[in-house]
A and B are shown apart, each in its own frame.
Chain A
Amino acid sequence: KQEVTQIPAALSVPEGENLVLNCSFTDSAIYNLQWFRQDPGKGLTSLLLIQSSQREQTSGRLNASLDKSSGRSTLYIAASQPGDSATYLCAVEGAGANNLFFGTGTRLTVIP
């Protein structure tokens, strides 16, 4: 069974810092990897999706990379803002599987 781990579980940074969130997965046979954002009491908002044939995706201040062979992905947030405070979830879809396997998330706090 695919296991997804996110480190750190919580992170607090001052506004303006660049930061990296980490995600690792145990089975490298994945179809794609998706990063989500979840605000307290809310649903999941998709941030970036990386298909298995891709190495990275960018959207604005966000950049996600994927290294399938090592089972790792990183989400880079540039010039962090208080509005970036949320929980960030990493999820992988296994090849041939109709399911997303989720990590337990990194709770990010950006201090003004």
Chain B
Amino acid sequence: DAGITQSPRHKVTETGTPVTLRCHQTENHRYMYWYRQDPGHGLRLIHYSYGVKDTDKGEVSDGYSVSRSKTEDFLLTLESATSSQTSVYFCAISDIVTENYGYTFGSGTRLTVV
């Protein structure tokens, strides 16, 4: 989506290695989120941020950490990747909700842990 970019788009990594996914926004929105999407589970929140250096856990945060040193960047780190973390990861942004604006999602990162 315009205004929100995820990198990389695809990644294959080995079990036990660290992995960092990046989300970059140009909308100056306060809130940023990381979700994972798995068959049968829908999208589930991993972590979110409500400002620079302000983050909190979501419902599936174990094994993940995040950092937000600038308004525009939100990083998701898998400290030691496991096969259960093979998934599609989506970043989202939001700000004040109006009738025309809610959450906006990036295009996703497909991560495979082998």
State which of B42, B58, B106 has its C-beta within 8 Å of the C-beta of A105.
Answer: B42
Which residue of the partner chain A has the closest CB to B31?
A98
Chain B's nearest CB lies how many Å from the CB of A22?
A: 15
- Total A-B residue contacts, Cβ distance less than 8 Å: 64
CB distance from B104 to the nearest CB of A (A): 7
Give the size category of A's interface with B.
20 to 34
Closest-CB distance, A49 to chain B (whole angstroms)? 4
Would you call A43 and B1 a contact (CB within 8 A)? yes
Contacts of A100 in B (CB 8 A): 33, 43, 45, 92, 103
Checking A32, A43, A89, A99 against B108 with a beta-carbon cut-off of 8 angstroms, the contacting residue is A43
Q: Which of A28-63 contact B (CB under 8 A)?
A: 31-32, 34, 36, 42-46, 49, 51, 54, 57
How many residues of B sit at the interface, in one of the four size bands? Answer: 20 to 34
**A54-B105 in contact given A98-B31, A99-B58, A102-B43 (Cβ < 8 Å):** no
B97 touches A51 (CB 8 A): yes
Contacts of A46 in B (CB 8 A): 102-105
Q: Which residue of the partner chain, among B41, B45, B90, B97, contacts A31 with CB atoms under 8 Å?
A: B97
Chain A residues near B42 (CB, 8 Å)? 4, 89, 102-105
Complex formed: what's the CA distance from A75 to B43 in Å?
19
Q: Chain B residues with Cβ under 8 A from A44's Cβ?
A: 43, 90, 105
Which residues from A are CB-within-8-Å of B104? 46
Tell whether, in the assembled complex, residue B90 and residue A32 are in contact, meaning their CB atoms are under 8 Å apart: no
Query: A31-B97, A54-B99, A99-B59 provided; 6 other pairs, C-beta below 8 A?
Result: A1-B59, A4-B42, A45-B1, A93-B97, A99-B48, A100-B43
Question: Which are the 7 A-B pairs with shortest beta-carbon distances?
Answer: A102-B42, A44-B105, A49-B102, A43-B107, A102-B43, A104-B42, A34-B102
